[in-house]
Structure 1
Amino acid sequence: MISELGALAWLSLVVAFGAIVPVIPTGAAVSAAAALAFHNHPLLIVLVIAAGAIGAYAGDLVMYAMCLMGGEQLARRLHWLRGEEHLTAMKERLHRSQVPVLLVSRLLPGGRVPVLLAAAFLGLSWRTFLVANAPACLLWSAVYAGIGVAGGSIFPEPWQGVVAAVVLVLVVGQIASMISKRRAARQEQTESA
């Protein structure tokens, strides 16, 4: 049991770090942990979801603080802004409904940082962000754990389930990224025409 708790702590740290440095596939980490938990101790899946959500939440807090402090200068230096129109539209959506926008931004590859920037530019209070981001992180973790459980249930060996979960997350992420890029390119063509 102690080794499982240590693994869950590492999972939280990896997810938190990946939320700050958005090149680490945090969803794949949660899915892999859930696939392993499915084979070893199915009740640990709930703790995997909690560990993933805690890590995502902690990382988002750091990212939001960076967005508030660094603001537009940091965003432009790191090429996080796609355009003023995109940011304005994001602000409007965020102003109307925080939780759904934060949730969708967590599920779409590359969507979280622009939303956090929009929230910072909008002046979303820490209190509102703390409350609105909690369910988004929990649902994100549950979705990726579900992918891991699906991968773990299909294959008889734990390692096969982990590989299947990671591959599935990476493939879905790439497809979502391609769709998002095509949509953005179409929108740019429409605006320039």
Structure 2
Amino acid sequence: MARTRRGRVKRKLLWRWRRNPLRRRSDRVETWIFLATWIVALVGGLLAGEAAGAATEDTLAARRAAAHAVSAVLAENADGTPALTGDGTGGTVRAKVRWTAPDGVTRTGVARVEPGRATGTSVTVWIDRQGDLVRTPPTAAESRLQSALTGVLVAVGTGAAVFGCGWLARLRLDRRRMRDWESEWARVAPSGGRT
């Protein structure tokens, strides 16, 4: 039973390629649209995903290269309990810190530190080339994961967009076929099918 069904599906998909007196020009066009949609979705999706992943990896590598860790000192006591937030700060609290910039000037700012630290405790903060505080850059493993996820998301999105365009093209073709069918039916049966 399964073999018969598979055979019918295969014949249904391939009948437009064979010589057939019932095959219309629109059937051939639809087959080429179908084939082009699949090829562009697969190849275009893979290329777009690869390009997006590489661009993300380069951006994150530049962030890692632009920031470096320095030692800072707490200028105030850090709170004992971290606030419950969903921003991925990992149980840290904000506290005022003091550090020396690359130009030798002592600066102060607010950074994320472990809770419960006392004034004067040494902590590590991340600064850029100008000596301003920046967020902790992602590690190489985090960068690879984020790049891979970005690439997959872009590949799937590109493929979905191409499939959507192919679906719209086939929808327009179906509407045109229906208009042609109605005009042919009106020509063949001017009485509306009544005898």
User: TM-score, normalised on structure 1?
Assistant: 0.29
User: TM-score, normalised on structure 2?
Assistant: 0.29
Larger gyration radius, structure 1 or structure 2: 2
Greater helix percent: which structure? 1
Greater strand percent: which structure? 2
